[in-house]
Amino acid sequence: MQWDALLSTRRFKLLDGAVCVTRSPATLEGAAGLRSDFHIDHDRLVFSSAFRRLGRKTQVHPLATNDHTHNRLTHSVEVASVGRSLGNRVGAMMLDAGILPSGYTPFDIGAVVQVACLAHDIGNPPFGHTGEDALREWFRDPRHAHLLQGMSAAKISDIQTYEGNAHGLRMVASLEMYAHEGGMRLTAAAIGALVKYPWTSDAPQAQARGKFNIYRTELGYFEQIAAELGLVRKGEREWARHPLSYLMEAADDICYAILDLEDAVEIGILDVHEFEALFSQFGESERTWHTADPQQKCAMLRGIAIGRCVAEVAEKFMLHQDTLLRGSFPGKDLIDVCAPQIKQTLLAAKALASQKVYRHRTKLVTELASYPCLGAVLDVLVPAVHACVTHGPATLSARHQLALNLLPAPLETAHGLYPAYMQVLDYIGAMTDNYAANLAREISGVGIL
């Protein structure tokens, strides 16, 4: 892979079912340098309704009542800040090494990573990863197997495996802005940096890792993006990752390892001394001894820790740049090849969160409730969709007709069950935690009076 291609500012749209290049809006701004193509990507994301909805979606604590804890929106903004710092630092090192392509600045690298970070959670359903599990479990339930009959194995794999990463690509490439005509039409570089798992749900890597980024609905689009970027092809429906996606991933890992614990201190699940014990080893911690305020102490330690992590990850990115460009990077991620102090501290932070935060009763109870909540919505919608597609709208019962009216757009029935079910998943996946909980309660009939 070559940096000139990997930083492509080309945008793609759908025209009569074909993927083709569209004009860059940066050329229409009226003044050179007013906004770069990557700044336009940033603006399209932050003004999208999908990004705004992240403010009511779970980061760690579903339906949190504490105003200081993170939601997906604040998490994404903070990840983008760390990602921009990582990208700027790597960009400066590329410039010093003479490998930054002509016409680009170090800040362009930072801007690409920032855009990918802003979008990295945009496809998450209500209730976070538990919401993903609830949607998957419903479609994999043997009682619902008849609703999938007649579909190909690849399409069934998509429907049975709601994946926030794949829905994130679907959101920016199909659903938002120019709906079904290229979506937000972000630059190829930004799309490449966003896609952490560049393979389909039935690819060998998906089976091995349990993650994927490409539904069948976006496969043609991504094939064009991959060709534009020069991504190494590793299989029929599998590519090597864009190198900058590793920086996006690292920014996310750094933030949730540290900030999930800071939230836990804020709401009283974790003692501030446990937080301090983990991160004081990064040095300069004597500055935190002059305050007894737990919030201030955590904030100072957090800033020191993030700074150390950014410097280390950028250094390791440059050290492994050759294997990243060949698509043969040996590590699980960039954190995996960091200095032991950085790696072990972040792993210990994640372990502590798993033991004391993610298993806290208040979190467990709400997550358990998300299964019947999303199940209630699927119970109403999916049989109605199945009846409409397989038997026709004229045969629908009054209940099924009412159910289909919940969908924000008329049901697409011309191409079979797969796109119709994707439409249901688009609707549910876009819901906020509050909206999903309220809808489930309303359609259940509980409290109707």
Element (H, E) at 19: strand 18-22
Nearest Cα neighbor of 22 from 224, 211, 307, 227 is 224
| CA separation for the pair 237, 198 (Å, rounded) | 8
Domain ranges of the chain: 3-27+35-243, 247-359, 362-440
Equal CATH topology for 3-27+35-243 and 247-359: no
pLDDT for res 62: 53
| CA separation for the pair 182, 224 (Å, rounded) | 12
- Residue 151's DSSP bridge partners are none
pLDDT for res 291: 62
Stretches where the chain sits below pLDDT 70 are 26-33, 58-70, 283-292, 447-449
Residue 214, helix vs strand vs coil = strand
**CATH 1.10.3720.10 is right for the domain spanning 247-359:** no
| The CATH classification of domain 3-27+35-243, taken from the options 1.10.3210.10, 1.10.760.10, 3.20.20.70, 3.30.450.40 | 1.10.3210.10
pTM recorded for the entire structure: 0.91
Is 416 within 8 Å of 156 (Cβ atoms)? no
Nearest Cα neighbor of 107 from 21, 170, 42, 185 is 42
